Amino acid sequence: MHQDIDNLFAAMWQDYISMTPSAAKVHQLLGHGKAIINDHIALRTFNLPKVKLEVLAAHFEALGYQACGDYVFEQKKLRAKHFEHPDDTQPKVFISELLVEQFSPWLQQTVAQLVAQIPDDATSADDFLYSGRHWSIDYATYSRLLEESEYAAWVAAFGYRANHFTVSVNHLAGFTTLQAVNDALKHAGFVLNSAGGEIKGSAAVLLEQSSTMADRIPVSFGDRTMEIPSCFYEFALRYPKADGKLYTGFVAASADKIFESTNAKS
């Protein structure tokens, strides 16, 4: 397992920008070339024993991260947890998993066949969290998964890697509101996720979030290469709790909409 948090996030960032051509441009636009503080990153998986949420979480727990919040997404048939590090300058981590048993027998069999192709030692290897897909899949299978679950299709196409990094707007020089960040992004031509409104959450729930719609990149399937949505960039502004410290949790109603940043179907 990784001994160094900075190495892990640096490797995940390299993988993420290779999947997300617009990320470097967003970074330049908001950071003016200076360092950007990441609020959090997110990973997705299936709840099968070999790759369930806890298997991914173990990589972070080995680096000192602790489980903090639990979230349920009934309609999307997902659950999630978020993890924090005692050093609060480290990004938070949001890990979700698809509740596979709630889907059709076809989806259950298909996902089981994908996961069966992962070598046993791959999930504990240092590079697992940026190792991508460990299976072959044809485009028709991806398309049929999309009909049942956008999330299932995304994991089937992209595997194990950060699906987004998140700019901490609290730490951005030159922007004090999320609206100003959104306006700068739209002016530069980026398309924002408008599900539930471009700004999800509010000061009242101590967290405002927005995100770009995922880039579309060519992905090789068993039978052909197709352009499909890959990864996106998120922006988060946190508000102080009664004790004066910034809220560190997530908001399920907002997260539910952020998931849709990778939707392939309109």
Name the residues that contact ligand OOG, by CB under 6 A.
42, 44, 94, 96, 163, 209, 234, 250, 254-255, 258-259
Residue in the structure block whose two tokens are 């993420």: 16
CA distance 157 to 235: 25
Residue 27 vs 200, nearer CB to ligand OOG: 200
DSSP designation for 71: E
CB of 224 to ligand OOG, least distance (A): 26
CB of 181 to Ni ion, least distance (A): 15
With CB cut-offs between 5 and 8 Å by kind, which of Ni ion, ligand OOG, none does residue 44 bind?
ligand OOG
With CB cut-offs between 5 and 8 Å by kind, which of Ni ion, ligand OOG, none does residue 141 bind?
none
Rg (CA), the chain: 18
CB of 58 to ligand OOG, least distance (A): 19
Among 84, 97, 234, 256, binds Ni ion (CB under 5 A): 234
Going by C-alpha positions, the residue among 172, 255, 217, 248 that lies closest to residue 16 is 217
Instruction: Kindly state the number of chain residues that form the binding site for Ni ion, as judged by CB under 5 A.
Output: 2
Report the SS3 class of residue 220.
strand
CA distance 110 to 20: 27
Going by C-alpha positions, the residue among 140, 127, 153 that lies closest to residue 214 is 153
Residue 187 vs 265, nearer CB to ligand OOG: 265
What is the binding site for Ni ion (CB under 5 A)? 42, 234
